[in-house]
C-alpha cells in the first residue's frame, strides 16, 4: 500500500484476502505511479476474477478459495458476476454443483444485473435492460442447458450425497417469484426464474421436460401448480405466434430450439418502451385470446374435482384446445389472413415444441426415447451467421409446424386450397417433410 497514492488505498483496504477483482485496478494504479510490475505478476488488462474462468470446477474453486481468493461475487469488465453465468458457463463440472458452491461461499443470487453502458453494449437507444433483472434470472438461463443436456439425467439428482447438493439451487430457482420487471405477455408480471430454467421447446428433449416437471411436482408440491401455469402461459404464448418483448426479443434459436438471450449484441436486453407499446398494441387481439385461454386452463388445472398429472393435462386439455384454434386459423380465407396481417396480427405457426409435438403417445412413451418424433426438427433452424431465412426455409418451417396439429389428410385439404391460390410449391415441400412419396408423381 505504501506504493499507492492515498486515493487508491480503497483498492486494497481488505488486506486479508488475495487480490482478485481489484488486481487490475492495483496494477494500473502502480503503473500510473511509476512502479513497474514484474512480468511474472502481470495480468490481462480486463477486469475479471478466477471464478469467471470457463474451465473452473468445484474442486479447483475450493482450492482457490482456501488460498484466499474470496471474490466469488466479484464483477468482470462487463459488470457480470460469476453466478450470472454469461454464455460461457463453466464446463469443467456440473454447472448445478458449481452454482450451488458459489452460493454457499457468498455469491448472491439477487445481485442486480448491470445496466447498459458505453463499456458493455452499443446502440443503447434501441434497447434497455429490465429494471429488476438479477443474477438468479440469468443463472436460470445458463443452467437450462445443463437441465436439457443429453449428458444429464434428472433422475440422478435425487441420489446426490455430496455437500453441495445441486437440488437446493434448482429448487431455489424454480420456486422463486422474483420478477425481472419486464413487460411481456408471455408472463403475467414479468419473467420469473423458472420460466428461464424450463424454457426449452426442443422435441428431442421432451422426455426430460416431463421428467423434470414430475420431479418438481414431487419436491415442490405447494408451489408446483403455479410453476406449471407460468410455464404453460409461455408455451401458449409461443404457439399463438406472439412476439416477445422480454429478454427473448430479437433472439435467434439455438440448435435445441430454445431462444438464447445471451446470443445477441446486448445480452438479456429488452426493446425500448416505444417499441414494446407498438408490438403489444398490434397484437392486442392475440394477447386477449391468450388471457382467455389461460383463464380456461387455470380453472381446469386448479379444479378441486380433478387431479391432473402434467401429461394428462397437456394431452387431454391443452393440446386439443390449441389444435382446435390452430385449425381455425389455418382455414381462414386468404382475404382474412391478408386483413389480419394489415392489422399487425401474425397468422403463421409458432415453432414446434415438446408440448404439442405428437398425437396419441402414451405417458409411458413420454418417459422413453421419442424415436421418429424429431423428424426434420432442425431443418428450418438458421445456421451460421445469416441474418435472414430464405422464403423457402420459412415456408418449410411453417409447414412443418402445421404437421404438429393436423393429420396428413387434413393438411392435404388445406394445401389443396392454398395451391389454387399460390401454385404447387406447397405440395412439394410438404411431401419432403413427411418423407412420403408424392402421389402426383405416380
Mean predicted confidence (pLDDT) in 111-116: 88
Return the pLDDT at 289.
Answer: 93
* Closest among 202, 195, 277, 194 to 243, alpha carbons compared: 277
Mean predicted confidence (pLDDT) in 273-287: 94
Return the pLDDT at 170.
Answer: 82
Mean predicted confidence (pLDDT) in 214-238: 89
- Answer yes or no: is pLDDT of 389 > 90: no
- Helix 284-301, helix 224-239: angle, nearest 10: 150
Categorize the per-residue pLDDT at 151 as very low, low, confident or very high, splitting at 50, 70 and 90: very low
Q: How far apart are the C-alpha atoms of 224 and 305, rounded to whole Å?
A: 18
> Lowest-confidence range among 63-72, 273-282, 349-358?
349-358
Neighbouring C-alpha atoms within 13 Å toward the C-beta of 26:
21
This model's pTM is above 0.75: no
Return the pLDDT at 419.
Answer: 58
Mean predicted confidence (pLDDT) in 25-38: 55
Q: For residue 42, report the phi and psi dihedrals to the nearest 5 degrees.
A: -70, 155
Return the pLDDT at 16.
Answer: 43
Q: For residue 259, report the phi and psi dihedrals to the nearest 5 degrees.
A: -85, 130
For the chain, the structural domain boundaries read 1-45, 54-374, 389-442
- Answer yes or no: is pLDDT of 132 > 90: yes
- Answer yes or no: is pLDDT of 8 > 50: no
What is the average pLDDT value for the chain, to the nearest integer?
Answer: 71
Mean predicted confidence (pLDDT) in 301-306: 88
Q: What is the pLDDT of residues 155-202, one digit of tens each?
A: 455 454 444 456 778 888 988 999 999 999 999 999 999 999 888 764
Q: What is the pLDDT of residues 39-90, one digit of tens each?
A: 545 555 666 788 888 778 888 889 888 888 888 888 888 888 998 876 656 5
* Closest among 436, 393, 430, 395 to 415, alpha carbons compared: 430
Amino acid at each position: 500500500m505504501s506504493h499507492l497514492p492515498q486515493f487508491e488505498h480503497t483498492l486494497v483496504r481488505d488486506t486479508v484476502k488475495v487480490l482478485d477483482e481489484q488486481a487490475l485496478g492495483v496494477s494500473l494504479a502502480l503503473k500510473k505511479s511509476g512502479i513497474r510490475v514484474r512480468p511474472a505478476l502481470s495480468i490481462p488488462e480486463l477486469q475479471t476474477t478466477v471464478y469467471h474462468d470457463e474451465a473452473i470446477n468445484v474442486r479447483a474453486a475450493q482450492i482457490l478459495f482456501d488460498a484466499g481468493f474470496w471474490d466469488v461475487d466479484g464483477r468482470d469488465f462487463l459488470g457480470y458476476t460469476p453466478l450470472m453465468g454469461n454464455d460461457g458457463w463453466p464446463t469443467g463440472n456440473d454447472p448445478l454443483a458449481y452454482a450451488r458452491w458459489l452460493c454457499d461461499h457468498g455469491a448472491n443470487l439477487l445481485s442486480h444485473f448491470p445496466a447498459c453502458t458505453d463499456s458493455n453494449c452499443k446502440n443503447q437507444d434501441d434497447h434497455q435492460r429490465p429494471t429488476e433483472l438479477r443474477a438468479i434470472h440469468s443463472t436460470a438461463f445458463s443452467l437450462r442447458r445443463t437441465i436439457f443436456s443429453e449428458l444429464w439425467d434428472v433422475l440422478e439428482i435425487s441420489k446426490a450425497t455430496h455437500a453441495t447438493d445441486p437440488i437446493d439451487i434448482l429448487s431455489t430457482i424454480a420456486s422463486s417469484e422474483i420478477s425481472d420487471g419486464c413487460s411481456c405477455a408471455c408472463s403475467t408480471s414479468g419473467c420469473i426464474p423458472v420460466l428461464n430454467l424450463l424454457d426449452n421447446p426442443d422435441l428431442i428433449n421432451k422426455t426430460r421436460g416431463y421428467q423434470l416437471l414430475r420431479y418438481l411436482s414431487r419436491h415442490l408440491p405447494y408451489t408446483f401448480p403455479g410453476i406449471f401455469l407460468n410455464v404453460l402461459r409461455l408455451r401458449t404464448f409461443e404457439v399463438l405466434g406472439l412476439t416477445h418483448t422480454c429478454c427473448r426479443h430479437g433472439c435467434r434459436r439455438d440448435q435445441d430450439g430454445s431462444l438464447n438471450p445471451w446470443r445477441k449484441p446486448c445480452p438479456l436486453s429488452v426493446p425500448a418502451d416505444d417499441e414494446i407499446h407498438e408490438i403489444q398494441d398490434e397484437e392486442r387481439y392475440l394477447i386477449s385470446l391468450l388471457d382467455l385461454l389461460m383463464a380456461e386452463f387455470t380453472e381446469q388445472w386448479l379444479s378441486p374435482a380433478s387431479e391432473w398429472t402434467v401429461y394428462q393435462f397437456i394431452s387431454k386439455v391443452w393440446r386439443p384446445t390449441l389444435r382446435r384454434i390452430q385449425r381455425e386459423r389455418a382455414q381462414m380465407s386468404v382475404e382474412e389472413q391478408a386483413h389480419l396481417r394489415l392489422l399487425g396480427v401474425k397468422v403463421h405457426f409458432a415453432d414446434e415444441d415438446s408440448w404439442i409435438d405428437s398425437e396419441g403417445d402414451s405417458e409411458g412413451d413420454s418417459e422413453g426415447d421419442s424415436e421418429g418424433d424429431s423428424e426434420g426438427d432442425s431443418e428450418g433452424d438458421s445456421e451460421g451467421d445469416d441474418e435472414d431465412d430464405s422464403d423457402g426455409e420459412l415456408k418449410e418451417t411453417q409447414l412443418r409446424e402445421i404437421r404438429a396439429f393436423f393429420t396428413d389428410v387434413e393438411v392435404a385439404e388445406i394445401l389443396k386450397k392454398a395451391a389454387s391460390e399460390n401454385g404447387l410449391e406447397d405440395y412439394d415441400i410438404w411431401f419432403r417433410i413427411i418423407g412420403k412419396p408424392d402421389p402426383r408423381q405416380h
